[in-house]
Amino acid sequence: MAAVEFAIIAPLLIGMLIPLVDLGLGIAKNTQLHNAAQAGAQYAFVNGWDSTAIQNAVTSATKLSPIEALPAPSQSCGCPTGTAVTTVACGSVCSDGTNAGTYVTVNARSSYTPVMPYPMLGSSVTLVATSIVRINQ
């Protein structure tokens, strides 16, 4: 009797386990991608603006493959306003009297191909991470 019950339940359990493992793999890849974007931002914070070097920091931060620093890192000036940064001309003075800061936006992108195809996701999912840091210049 136990063998019959197991034969009935085992496919259901395996059918539930595979999507959970797939979701876990996707989340792990997404975490690695965010870490790579953070590595690029950290490079910019420590070494200043160098687009090529920042891209290299992103792509070499993890063994995740393929990973791209797209769109390319960008540099802009802005004034912090609460939880956002308002873009202004470089050299301007912010409303609080401070000088506008220089910010670097670092992006990382990779695709994740699930173990099993899911009709709602398609054959692959594009994962994107962004990190913004204020640098001294």
pLDDT, residue 85, reads: 86
Instruction: Name the DSSP letter for residue 73.
Output: P
Alpha-carbon span 48 to 135, nearest angstrom:
6
- Residues 6 or more apart whose CB falls under 8 angstroms from that of 100 comprise 77, 78, 79, 88, 89, 90, 91, 92, 93, 94
User: CB–CB of 76/87 below 8 Å?
Assistant: yes
Q: What is the pTM of this model?
A: 0.83
Percent composition of the chain: helix, strand, coil (DSSP 3-state, to 5): 40, 30, 30
pLDDT, residue 123, reads: 83
pLDDT, residue 118, reads: 82
pLDDT, residue 104, reads: 95
User: CB–CB of 132/122 below 8 Å?
Assistant: no
Q: What is the pLDDT of residues 77-100, one digit of tens each?
A: 999 888 888 899 998 999 888 899
Dihedral pair phi/psi, residue 99, rounded to 5°: -75, 150
Sequential pLDDT tens for the chain (137 residues): 999 999 999 999 998 999 899 999 999 999 999 999 999 999 999 999 999 999 999 999 988 888 999 999 999 999 988 888 889 999 899 988 889 999 999 999 999 998 888 888 788 899 999 999 999 86
Any idea what the Cα angle at residue 112 is, between residues 108 and 114, rounded to 5°?
165
